[in-house]
């Protein structure tokens, strides 16, 4: 995958580090609506659960020394007509920790999306026994009229 460098002329220390609100407003919604083709130049779409967490950094489109990478992916459900999301990889599973957090528009205070935190565990999800790792994922999704049911960031 081709890496992109940030434009020349940016000050030393500049980082691509959008806020939760910016991720929903300027990246996830335009991706879902197909209104901004540049979004795909910045954030890769990957089949997320086909990779182990340590394989994902190489899939990122932005080179970064920070330990944060952004990806678009589509939810894969365990069964047809199920609301249960499949979050397993070959060696483990991603487990939701804590509660969903609401992301609000700073100006209107309206809910524009939600965020979940997941931690990767090595082992079997079926037995719910797994060794917790230090890999953490924040899953962002648009809370709307079901126009975008499967796409997350």
Express each pLDDT in 34-81 by its tens digit: 888 888 888 999 999 999 999 999 999 887 777 889 999 888 888 888
- Type and span of the H or E element at 115: strand 111-124
Q: What is the mean pLDDT of residues 14-21?
A: 86
Residues of the chain by 3-state class (helix, strand, coil), percent to 5: 20, 35, 45
Handedness of CA 79, 118, 44, 103 (dihedral sign): positive
The number of beta carbons lying within 10 Å of the beta carbon of residue 143 is: 15
- In the chain, alpha helices (H): 20-22, 29-33, 39-42
pLDDT band per the 50, 70, 90 thresholds, residue 5:
low
Whole-prediction pTM? 0.81
- Scan for tokens 């069964």, then name that residue: 79
Q: What is the pLDDT of residue 14?
A: 72
Per-residue pLDDT at 93: 94
The domains located in the chain, with CATH, are 20-63+72-152 (2.170.150.80)
- The DSSP 8-state label assigned to residue 81 in this structure reads T
Question: What is the arithmetic mean of pLDDT over 111-132?
Answer: 90
């Amino acid at each position: 995958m081709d890496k992109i460098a940030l434009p020349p002329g940016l000050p030393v220390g500049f980082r691509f580090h959008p806020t939760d609100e910016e991720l929903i407003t300027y990246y996830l919604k335009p991706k879902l609506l197909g209104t901004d083709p540049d979004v795909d130049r910045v954030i890769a779409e990957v089949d997320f659960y086909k990779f182990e967490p340590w394989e994902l950094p190489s899939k990122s489109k932005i080179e970064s020394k920070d330990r944060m990478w952004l990806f678009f992916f589509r939810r894969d459900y365990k069964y047809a007509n199920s609301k249960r999301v499949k979050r397993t990889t070959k060696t483990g599973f991603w487990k939701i920790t804590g509660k969903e957090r609401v992301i609000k528009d700073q100006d209107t205070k309206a809910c524009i999306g939600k965020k979940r935190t997941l931690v990767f565990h090595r082992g079997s999800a079926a037995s719910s026994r797994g060794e917790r790792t230090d890999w953490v994922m924040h899953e962002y999704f648009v809370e709307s009229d079901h126009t975008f049911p499967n796409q997350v960031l």
